[in-house]
Amino acid sequence: MDSLAATVARMPALRAAVAADPSSHRVLTGERPTGPLHLGHLVGTISERVRLQRSGVDVLVILADYQVITDRDVADRLSDHVRGAVLDQLAAGLDPDRTTVFAHSAVPALNQLMLPFLSLVTEAELHRNPTVKAEHAASGRALSGLLLTYPVHQAADILSCRADLVPVGKDQLPHIELTRVLARRFAERYGPVFTPPEPMLTDTPELPGLDGHTMSTSRGNAVPLGATADETAALVRRARTDPERRITVDPDGRPGVYGLLTTAALCLGRDPHELAATLDGAAALKRLTTDAVNDHLAGHRARRAELARDPGLVDDVLARGNARANDLADETLDEVRAAMGMRYGRVRTRSAG
Ligand code: TRP
């Protein structure tokens, strides 16, 4: 069995174990703040986070800001995207009293773990990572040292806060595998400090973008959660369709129609084939999709707008999240230094009493 098949086969048992004892698990999940979060994030990863939080799992959400500069020079409007992401998590139901939202640039000890971890991999291994290879090819630029080594940085994200579960899509599995390898190699060289985490494969099917291709902010085919109803209508209007009156489910032959139809079906909780049979022509499909998306997101957008009116809220949530992530990472780094024989020159703390 290959590692993807093995991971898929492991999921039911893993989910059962989490359901049986949620509070004994810690989840790290998150994304690169490269743009506004969109509908695909909400139906896939963010709602899964909310479910995990509500079940009693300790959830940490990382805003992987250093990862933004793996395949581009500048992190454009980074702080807008970070702030927007926090608002979207809160509007979706993440509770800052229970869930930790933090930026990895704000956690020095996390970043310091990169050094011992880098010593545990070879350059050849880094070059074999299929996701890095694909991202490098897509970037159309020279391979930066950060792009080559970012899976090690991601391992530092995960191991610094001792997450035992990492919800991910298929493309992230090589990074979790590397994290497990690093945890084991660290143990062989210095002693057992880390428990290898397990990937939790997201089981929601991937929602295509409005053009039928993979949804992504950079393709302009995604509906941002924070967009207005009018902006949403304009995005849908721009989608490429065809003059055929009959609406069919045909991902390869009619990608634009397919993207709109699956989006509408998802928002309405209906089967795309059934929905297709009720429609006559692309204009009707576009009207239906606009209304379906706007209705589906109305509650989220209203909550998001309300939260955005509180000027100190986002900074407050991040300050608390960053503080907890720092506490966890400081503790981990201390154990790492102890295991590596680097616990010297520390400031003496006076014992109480
Ligand atoms: N690489 C992930 C992505 O692009 C984001 C990420 C960074 C992440 N660090 C993480 C996800 C740690 C889970 C755990 O989606």
Residue with tokens 């290898």: 196
Radius of gyration, alpha carbons of the chain:
22
Distance 168 CA to ligand 1 centre (A): 8
Distance 101 CA to ligand 1 centre (A): 13
* CA dist., res. 336 & res. 246, Å (int): 63
Tokens 């706007």, located at residue: 294
The residue to which tokens 């509906």 are assigned: 223
Confidence at residue 346, expressed as pLDDT on a 0 to 100 scale: 76
Ligand 1 atom nearest 153 alpha carbon: 9
Task: Give pLDDT, residue 352.
Answer: 54
- Mark 37-55 as b/e (b = at least 16 C-beta within 10 Å): bbbbbbbbbbebbbebbee
Spatial CB neighbours of 237, under 8 Å, sequence gap ≥ 6: 286, 290
Q: What is the pTM of this model?
A: 0.94
Q: What is the residue-wise DSSP string for 77-133?
A: THHHHHHHHHHHHHHHT--TTTSEEEEGGG-HHHHHTHHHHHTTS-HHHHHH-HHHH
Instruction: Look at residues 164, 173, 163, 161 and name the one whose alpha carbon lies nearest to residue 202.
Output: 173
CA angle 159, 318, 80 (to 5 degrees): 110
Q: What is the pLDDT of residue 204?
A: 74
Q: How far is the CA of 136 from the centre of ligand 1 (A)?
A: 17
Q: Which atom of ligand 1 lies nearest, measured to the CA of 157? A: 12
Determine the pLDDT at residue 351.
63
Output the CA 151–ligand 1 centroid distance in Å.
9
- Local confidence pLDDT in tens for the 353 residues of the chain: 678 899 999 999 999 999 999 999 999 999 999 999 999 999 989 999 999 999 999 999 999 999 999 998 888 899 999 999 999 999 999 999 999 999 999 999 999 999 999 999 999 999 999 999 999 999 999 999 999 999 999 999 999 999 999 999 899 999 999 999 999 999 999 999 999 999 999 877 788 999 999 888 778 899 999 999 999 999 999 999 999 999 999 999 999 999 999 999 999 999 999 999 999 999 999 999 999 999 999 999 999 999 999 999 999 999 999 999 999 999 999 999 999 999 998 777 776 54
Beta bridge partners of 38: 224
Q: Are 28 and 63 in contact (CB under 8 A)?
A: no
DSSP 215: P
Q: Which residues pair with 280 in a beta bridge?
A: 246
Place of tokens 């950079």: 218
Nearest CA to ligand 1 atom 5: 31
CB contact at 8 A, 238 and 230: no
DSSP, res 44: I
Query: Quick check: 54 and 96 in contact, CB under 8 A?
Result: no
Ligand 1, atom 13, lies closest to the CA of 29
